[in-house]
Amino acid sequence: MNEVVMQLMKHRSVRAFEQTPVPEEQLREIVAAGQMASTSSNVQAYSVIAVTDTALKHELSVLTGRQAYVESCPVFLVWCADLNRLAQAASSHLLDGEQTYADSAESFVVATVDAALAAQNAAIAAESMGYGICYIGGIRNRIGEVTSLLRIPRLVYPVFGMCIGIPSASSGQRPRLPVDAVLHRDVYEPGRTFATIGAYDDTMVRYLRSRTEGRKSTPWSKIMAEWLTRPNRLQLMEFLQGRGLLRR
């Protein structure tokens, strides 16, 4: 493996951080590295809010499901899909009454993918500097309150958060599905995925038993069944449409 691949293969989520601040120069380098990710048609339809204020981080920790590491990390990044900036940039070039498609499903997907690609670039950059990161999907738990707290405008929504800081404790690396479960050849092969589930269940059972000293041993497939049958953040569609997104 080359050094880049080795860095990627070392990734693990970090939830315990030292209180050493992330220097402004390094934070800007991390975000700049994120900006070099691929972006559809060069739209760069994302923004990131760096939260370091103690009171704000506390409020966000509550809104994300009382996740203490949101408050304890030195800097919490909120990655946003941002079509507002595009609308502003285009406004001076539109004919009177000319409509845009910032509210389309395609624009929504483009902005969301752009934000995810930039964030992952930034995550790898941060890890290469010795920092740990943890993605926080809980930013969408109470997304309306987060939006108000951070003064996020229309045509923008917070996709996820990211804790960054120097790890204060080592964390285990969760096993991933085998490559054969996700790599198909020429066409999608449903049987390939199904054939790997049993082996991965065994792997995850061993991992959970080791990590929890025998307290947990639920197979991955059962955890996924519980995830799929649990209504989760069903308010999102109404919220997004109210912000001018996903209307067609």
Neighbouring C-alpha atoms within 13 Å toward the C-beta of 49: 23
Taking the model in full, what pTM does it have? 0.95
pLDDT at site 1:
85
The answer to whether residues 192 and 180 touch, using CB atoms and an 8 Å cutoff, is yes
Does residue 40 have a pLDDT over 90? yes
pLDDT for 93-120, tens place per residue?
999 889 899 999 999 999 999 999 999 9
For the beta carbon of residue 53, count every other beta carbon within 10 angstroms: 11
Domain ranges of the chain: 3-173+231-242, 179-217
The three-state secondary structure class of 135 is strand
- The mean pLDDT value for 191-213 works out to 92
pLDDT at site 60:
98
Closest CA to 115 of 79, 87, 156, 139: 79
pLDDT at site 190:
86
In angstroms, the CA 102 to CA 205 distance is 45
pLDDT for 211-221, tens place per residue?
999 999 999 99
- The mean pLDDT value for 41-68 works out to 98
> In 38-189, which ranges are E strands?
46-51, 75-82, 132-136, 156-165
The two three-digit tokens of residue 125, written as one number: 């950059």
Closest CA to 140 of 115, 169, 110: 115
Question: Which sign, positive or negative, has the C-alpha torsion 69, 70, 75, 80?
Answer: positive
pLDDT at site 69:
97
3-173+231-242 domain in CATH 3.40.109.10? yes
pLDDT for 126-177, tens place per residue?
999 999 999 999 999 999 999 999 999 999 999 999 999 999 988 889 999 9
The rounded Cα 104 to chain-centroid distance in angstroms is 22
